[in-house]
Amino acid sequence: MMPARLARAYRQTEYSAAGCIVLIGRRAPDRLFQALGARSAVFITAWNPMSRRMPDGWNQQAQRRLRERLWRFGSVSADGTLGRWHEAHLLVAVPDMRRMVRLARIFRQRAVVVIQRGHPAKLVVLA
């Protein structure tokens, strides 16, 4: 279960990639899917596991390990920003969301943001 304050923060965060901004509950721009060459994708990060702030060096190293695990998939650098809070993300084109959920759990993330062409972006909270 995710605390209400944290869930609200996820929903208010601006997720950006390839010059596009994605908000939970709103459709992602079509040009984002064109840039990825995919109809669905996920914003995923290795920063701040279990929503606990970690030093930048630690976060950057974890993000490198995540990027290495995703070498087979098309991805672009992305960000999540809310006020002064910032986390580096990757936006990954995925045919199988289950694989991304498993990977997010390995990197101890609480949630991922899923986008599908023509549908609102949604927050997927991980158990």
DSSP the chain: ---HHHHHHHHHPEEEETTEEE-BTSBPPHHHHHHHTSSEEEEE--SSGGG----HHHHHHHHHHHHHHTTTS-EEEEEEEETTEEEEEEEEE-S-HHHHHHHHHHTT-SEEEEEETTSBBEEEE--
Q: What does the alpha-carbon distance between residue 65 and residue 71 come to, in Å, rounded to a whole number?
A: 10
What pLDDT does residue 119 have?
96
Average pLDDT over all residues of the chain: 94
Domain tally, the chain? 1
pLDDT score for 35: 87
pLDDT at 91: 96
Domain with 81, as residue range(s), is 4-125
Reported confidence tier of residue 21, pLDDT bands at 50, 70, 90: very high
Distance CA 75, CA 90 (A): 6
Q: How far is residue 125's CA from residue 127's CA, in Å, rounded to a whole number?
A: 7
Under the banding of pLDDT at 50, 70 and 90, the label for residue 97 is confident
**pLDDT on residue 1:** 74
* Residue 25 pLDDT class (50, 70, 90 cuts): very high
